[in-house]
Amino acid sequence: MAGQLDPELLLENLDPEQQAAAKSLVGPTCILAGAGTGKTRTVTHRIAYGIAKGYYSANRVLALTYTNRAAGELRARLRQLGVGAVTVKTFHAAALSQLEYFWPQFAGVPAPTVLESKARLIAKVAEERQIRLDTGGVRDLASEIEWRKFSMLSLAEYAELAPTRPKVAGLSPGKNVELQTAYEDAKIKAQRVDWEDVLVLTLGMLRAEPRALAHVQQQYRFFTVDEYQDISPLQHALLDVWLGSRSDLCVVGDPNQTIYSFTGASSTYLQNFANTYPDATVIQLTRNYRSTQQIVNFANRLTEDTGFVEPLQSQGEAGLAPRTISFATIQDECSAVAAAIKNKLALGIKASDVAVLYRVNGQSEAMENALAQAGVDYQVRGGERFFNRVEIQAAIRALRAEAISPTDKPLFQAVSEICRSLGWQTQPPSEPGVLREKWESLNSLLAITDELPAEATLAEFAAELDERQRSQHEPVKAAVTLSTIHAAKGLEWEIVHLIGLTEGYLPISYAQTEAEIREERRLLYVAITRARREVTLTWAKRDATSHRDREPSRFFNALLARG
């Protein structure tokens, strides 16, 4: 593969800082990559350049991400560069594959099965103890379990710490620990593990079994870690074991986008990287290619006092100034946002280029109602999975059956014929509803053919879909996106509306300490930098669930100080 790649051609379209990062091939490298600075482009070209120059063997590179979607995107970009043999996995997926491979050898039985739903088991043990937890409470307790395990705390250690932790789901510290203990007991009884256990067990196995550790360290020699500001103590311990005494590690991150402390993530490892590795090459990417100058300058006001990284510099046009608008009620706010979106769509803006972001899931309902009344199609991130849809599963079954027999048909023709047999046609149904949703799903499936080489076969397409299904790398639907800010991390849109920006939502009511408030501020920074061309920030005085007035987010003071 290295002989087929022109190393210098790979660097041709990178800016000077991106080139410097791509050329730093040996030893520890830290890339401080601000929002929209071409982080994924830099990382993929660095890997491809290292392979083209003969520094790396593709099968000995392991690129680690935190989400399946990020892994899917990284994998697709590397394939486009001709280095598809590189292993790209989430921390969890990499650990699970090692656990499943080695566990039978050392334990004599198959590796434990991963729980399908942590929430379901939590709800069950709570019900058995007559402790009432609503959906939000179950989710909060699941997050606290994840924080405990990512922080590498035993139940006994956590029990000592519990009284100092923020109250979880309204439970007393004692009830909190009781439910966590019951959850662990029920999990063991069911002979299941959760995803955090996968990391814990893999770490323990590699530390206890020198043969397994030698095998893994022989397999992977060069490591790249994306979103390094989000690494937890548990993930870092596992990475240390994988590395051993070696230091061929490239980390990429942005401390200004640290928004997962509640799961145990810490930007300390990123900020201390140069101290951990005194010979490290540290490169800052500050040229923002995503957003207009007005949006970048606006977002920079939220990071002026951080000091660790340089402010972003937009490479785009001046653009429109971000707007902040207040409304009397939440209904007024959402109706106005829906009307603004409808006007943009009428002007030819694609629905998939528009997003509405908010702090918590509960804020979506009023927005969904407003968009529905305006006749605007939308999708909620975290809703029904693309690959779980009936028509997509039927299409995949048909593709697999068709792929068994060789065909001379071009890929697009073969796939479109299968989609037509399931109800797809060239023009979409005119009315919204079930038929329109089915058409959009099949159309999105068909659009994936454009991302593969022209000579790709039906069997290769089916394999691509299998990989995307495993990694939850789903196509973008032709609809306005509704999402929490956390779930929008790593994504971007032409136009972004940030709604519900009041005290109690951003910052969230339970953010009390200075560190927690700083994280909420970073969350708003992440939200603003999702926008390419336009961003609007709105808030409403009257809360839908009470008769008291809300106050605008305190962060407006920083944003509007020089507005």
* pLDDT score recorded for residue 398: 86
Q: Which two tokens stand for residue 306?
A: 């951080």
What's the confidence (pLDDT) of residue 431?
Answer: 62
Query: Do residues 542 and 549 touch, judged by C-beta distance below 8 A?
Result: yes
Mean pLDDT across the chain: 88
What's the rounded Cα separation, in Å, for the pair 16 and 318?
A: 23
In DSSP terms, 538 is beta-bridged to: 325
The pTM of the full predicted model, rounded to 2 decimals, is 0.81
| One-letter amino acid of 489 | K
Q: Tally the C-alpha atoms within 13 A of residue 63's C-alpha that lie toward its C-beta.
A: 30
CB of 376 within 8 A of CB of 342? yes
Pairing of strands 113-114, 323-329: unpaired
- Distance between CA atoms of residues 83 and 86, nearest Å: 6
Q: Which of 34, 562, 31, 529 is nearest to 293 (CA)?
A: 529
Return d(Cα 220, Cα 86) in angstroms, integer: 10
DSSP single-letter state for residue 312:
P
Give per-residue pLDDT as tens, 252-268: 999 999 888 888 888 89
Q: How far apart are CA 173 and CA 163, in angstroms?
A: 5
Question: Angle 417-421-427 (CA atoms, 0-180°, nearest 5)?
Answer: 75
The residue type found at 230 is D
Sheet holding 249-253, edge to edge: 87-90, 61-65, 222-225, 249-253, 29-33, 281-285
| Amino acid type, 240 | D
Residue 384 above 60 pLDDT? no
Write out the E strands in 171-314: 192-193, 222-225, 249-253, 281-285, 287-288, 313-314
Q: Where does the pLDDT of residue 383 fall: very low under 50, low under 70, confident under 90, or very high at 90 and above?
A: low
- Mean pLDDT in residue range 165-187: 90
pLDDT, residue 139, reads 84
- Residue 432 pLDDT: 55
Model confidence band, residue 137 (pLDDT cutoffs 50, 70, 90): confident
Selection from 557, 490, 540 nearest residue 65 by Cα: 490
Cα–Cα nearest to 442, from 458, 470, 465: 465
Residue 469 has pLDDT above 80, yes or no: no
Task: Name all contacts of 93-96 with Cβ < 8 Å and 24+ positions apart.
Answer: 93/68, 93/471, 94/62, 94/64, 95/198, 95/199, 95/202, 95/203, 95/238, 96/198, 96/202
Question: Is residue 532 classed as helix, strand or coil in its secondary structure?
Answer: strand
**Distance separating alpha carbons of residues 487 and 382, to the nearest angstrom:** 8
Q: Which helix (H) or strand (E) holds 379?
A: strand 378-380
Pick the more confident residue, 438 or 294: 294
pLDDT band at 1 (very low <50, low <70, confident <90, very high): very low
Q: What is the mean pLDDT of residues 408-417?
A: 85
| pLDDT at position 205 | 95
Q: How far apart are the first and last CA of the chain?
A: 52
Whether pLDDT at 327 is above 50:
yes
What whole-number distance in Å separates Cα of residue 259 and Cα of residue 527? 11
Weakest-pLDDT range from 331-335, 342-346, 484-488, 511-515: 511-515
Amino acid at 342: K
Pairing mode of beta strands 29-33, 281-285 = parallel
* Cβ atoms of residues 313 and 287 within 8 Å: yes
Could you write out the three-class secondary structure of 385-451?
CHHHCHHHHHHHHHHHHHHCCCCCCCHHHHHHHHHHHCCCCCCCCCCCCHHHHHHHHHHHHHHHHHH
